[in-house]
Amino acid sequence: MQYVIQAQSVTKVFNGFTAVNEISFKLIAGECLGLLGPNGAGKTSTIRMTYGFSPMSSGRLSVFGLDIRTHWREIKGRLGVCQQENSLDPDLTVQQNLEVFGRYFNIPAGATREKARKLLEFIALDHRRDAQVSELSGGMMRRLVLARALINDPELVILDEPTTGLDPQSRHQVWEKLENLRSEGLSILLTTHYMEEAARLCDRLIIMDHGEILVEGKPAELIIEHAGRNVVEIAQPTDELREFIRSRDLTHDDLGRRILIYGDENDQLFDIIRERFCKENCSLRGSTLEDVFLRLTGRQLRE
Amino acid sequence: MKLSSSFDISWRFLRVWQRNLIVYRRIWKVNFLPPLFEPLFYLLAFGMGLSTMIGTIHYAGVDISYLTFITPAILAINIMYNAFFETTYASFVRMYYQKTFDAMMATPLSLGEVITAEIIWGATKSLFATVIMLAVLSGFGLIHYPDGLLIIPLAFLGGVAFGSVGMLFTGIVPSIDVFNLPIFLFITPMFLFSGTFFPVENLPDWAQHLALALPLTHLVRLTRHLCLGLVGVDLLLEAAYLLVFCLIFYPLALISMHRRLIQ
């Protein structure tokens, strides 16, 4: 198996606070690996170490089989990064943003111009090549950031929340572009808050919290393992229902005004519950990644 | 201990310098106006307004008009302003508001290369402005040639010195408003007391010693002697001061920016 990223016991400590605590993971060539976690889980710290922006406190990290501590320049030359915050150059036009960025990789000017033209076509911004960055919409800017990350023909792209703050149309457009890239065999490491995004794009997921990896696996397998196939949701549950759940030892989350019951043979269970405990206030639905996420990381706010 | 990758500096820094040049060229008309008109304003104010009240000044054994006395100071002050304001306000905006440095750090550039390019760019702006100003001032016969041509490389050296100090402050200030402090405590006193508008010798002894510690005093002496065509070996000492100043403040600028940005 060929690994694009190999992280071993990677740790990041900021002023005594452990943001990332001895995590180990691998990214296989050609796969899309997703990092999920609430705010402050250590996702951004992890990927910042991966692209050599932030030095590790301890551990070993290699990208393309090269040590990030010693071969950072070569590694950075072979990967593309979409940072969370918009870092497009507002002093330059759309086209210049790509060309100037390409020059940072020491790509010859002629080659970057040609590449920039192709990328603007790819992200459907060729008609805005001479526009100022500030004239673009949020979705256009994000597509331009993505194009910029591809200027050096990277073997790996690292995306930190690529669709946060976008409207549904723009989000789907970014997803489409990312799916195109993935089908071409590009390796992708991405962080996201959107479970739909993770389920749709990622081959494998890592769910993190408090700087540690909680679980790792394929989206569908994680759902079955941690939230079953189906969920019965009951609003305004009665004490009799709670008693019933206890007696049957059902996997559930009691949120006070709502109870979620996870299971595999819920079809039957649903009928029983509906008949005995509620007539209107219960529903049956398929389990989702969001159920897994909330079960593992808890429901309290992270601020 | 292995030195951080921030301090690995190659010629690749020129790519960042090129980026600034591209932006400068896009608005070159606006950029060319201040160095074109500012010397004219000074000449008007001091030449017609003030010099009739002052007459001549005895400087380095010769009697010169007040206008001749302050012309080199105008050049030196502009060298200081161009580089210092570039690596303070302009660099801070790129670093903090535009996240330009963050984007660069995701490419094979090191932080040291980005910072070096910013400082060298500030010095380049000093050089451009100086060339334009020299052309304007030459029209009034205020520059002695060919000695005056040495002011062009000197503008670059002075630009690196003031650009490095500016970048050091950029690494330290918590917000952009705090730049008022180094301007009030460092730039304005130099503007007034570095032998710019009156000879340093007019100051009391203690203030003379203080003025000698300031880089602008040495830059003004250099531009003044070159403008007047009074070139001697002693000028090398003045240039050496500026060089040492760069050798101290350039590494300090790198360290302060590393501390600020690399976490």
Q: Which residue of B has its CA nearest to A14?
A: B263
Q: What is the DSSP string of A212-254?
A: EEEEEE-HHHHHHHHH-SEEEEEES--HHHHHHHHHHT-EEEE
Binned at pLDDT 50, 70 and 90, residue B1 comes out as very low
In Å, how far is B94's CA from the nearest CA of chain A? 9
Determine whether the interchain pair B5/A72 forms a contact, defined as Cβ–Cβ distance below 8 Å: yes
Is A109 in a helix, a strand, or coil? helix
Binned at pLDDT 50, 70 and 90, residue B160 comes out as very high
pLDDT digits (tens, 9 = 90+) for A258-278: 888 888 765 677 777 777 877
Q: Look over chain B and give the mean of its residue pLDDT values, rounded to a whole number.
A: 93
Among candidates A101, A105, A134, which has minimal Cα distance to A116? Answer: A101
| Residues on chain B touching A148 (C-beta within 8 angstroms) | 103
Which residues on neighbouring strands pair with residue A195, listed in sequence order?
none
Angle (nearest 5°) at CA B236 between B217 and B201: 35
| Residues on chain A touching B109 (C-beta within 8 angstroms) | 104
| Residues on chain A touching B108 (C-beta within 8 angstroms) | 73-74, 76-77, 104-106
Q: Is A91 on the interface with B (CB under 8 A)?
A: yes
Q: Give the integer Cα–Cα distance in Å for B74 and A80.
A: 47
Q: Which residue of B has its CA nearest to A104?
A: B15
Q: Is A53 on the interface with B (CB under 8 A)?
A: yes
| Residues on chain A touching B105 (C-beta within 8 angstroms) | 53
| Residues on chain A touching B24 (C-beta within 8 angstroms) | none
Determine whether the interchain pair B106/A81 forms a contact, defined as Cβ–Cβ distance below 8 Å: yes
Q: Is A40 on the interface with B (CB under 8 A)?
A: no
| Residues on chain A touching B112 (C-beta within 8 angstroms) | none
pLDDT of residue B236: 94
pLDDT of residue B3: 63
pLDDT digits (tens, 9 = 90+) for A104-147: 999 999 999 999 999 999 999 999 999 999 999 989 999 999 99
Q: Give the integer Cα–Cα distance in Å for B244 and B241.
A: 5
- Report DSSP state, residue A257: S
Determine whether the interchain pair B103/A74 forms a contact, defined as Cβ–Cβ distance below 8 Å: no
Q: Phi first, then psi: give them for residue A210, nearest 5 degrees.
A: 50, 40
Determine whether the interchain pair B102/A85 forms a contact, defined as Cβ–Cβ distance below 8 Å: yes
| Residues on chain A touching B110 (C-beta within 8 angstroms) | 73
Contact call for residues A20 and A12 (beta carbons, < 8 A) = yes
Task: Give me the residue from B98, B104, B263 closest to A104, CB to CB.
Answer: B104
pLDDT digits (tens, 9 = 90+) for B180-199: 999 999 999 999 999 999 99
Q: Is A103 on the interface with B (CB under 8 A)?
A: yes
Q: No. of H helices and E strands in chain B?
A: 13, 2
Q: Is A106 on the interface with B (CB under 8 A)?
A: yes
Determine whether the interchain pair B108/A77 forms a contact, defined as Cβ–Cβ distance below 8 Å: yes
Determine whether the interchain pair A73/B4 forms a contact, defined as Cβ–Cβ distance below 8 Å: no
Determine whether the interchain pair A73/B105 forms a contact, defined as Cβ–Cβ distance below 8 Å: no
Structural domains of chain A sorted by starting position, each given as residue range(s) with its CATH number in brackets:
1-78+154-227 (3.40.50.300), 88-153 (no CATH), 229-286 (3.30.70)
Determine whether the interchain pair A76/B108 forms a contact, defined as Cβ–Cβ distance below 8 Å: yes
Determine whether the interchain pair B18/A100 forms a contact, defined as Cβ–Cβ distance below 8 Å: yes
pLDDT digits (tens, 9 = 90+) for A178-216: 999 999 999 999 999 888 899 999 999 999 999 999 999
Q: What 3 state SS string does A38-66 have?
A: CCCCCHHHHHHHHCCCCCCCEEEEEECCE
Best probe of the A interface among B7, B14, B104, B105, by most A CBs < 10 A, is: B105
Q: Which residue of B has its CA nearest to A13?
A: B263
Evaluate if residue A300 carries a pLDDT over 80. no
Determine whether the interchain pair B106/A51 forms a contact, defined as Cβ–Cβ distance below 8 Å: yes
Binned at pLDDT 50, 70 and 90, residue A50 comes out as very high
Q: What is the DSSP string of B41-101?
A: HHIIIIIIIIHHHH-EEEETTEEEEHHHHHHHHHHHHHHHHHHHHIIIIIHHIIIIIS-HH
Q: Is A90 on the interface with B (CB under 8 A)?
A: yes
pLDDT of residue B109: 96
Q: Give the integer Cα–Cα distance in Å for A43 and A161.
A: 10
Determine whether the interchain pair B103/A83 forms a contact, defined as Cβ–Cβ distance below 8 Å: yes
3-state helix, strand, coil in chain B (%, to 5): 80, 5, 20
Determine whether the interchain pair B22/A106 forms a contact, defined as Cβ–Cβ distance below 8 Å: no
pLDDT of residue B2: 52
Best probe of the B interface among A89, A92, A96, A99, by most B CBs < 10 A, is: A89
Evaluate if residue A162 carries a pLDDT over 80. yes
Determine whether the interchain pair B99/A85 forms a contact, defined as Cβ–Cβ distance below 8 Å: yes
Binned at pLDDT 50, 70 and 90, residue A45 comes out as very high
In Å, how far is A178's CA from the nearest CA of chain B? 19
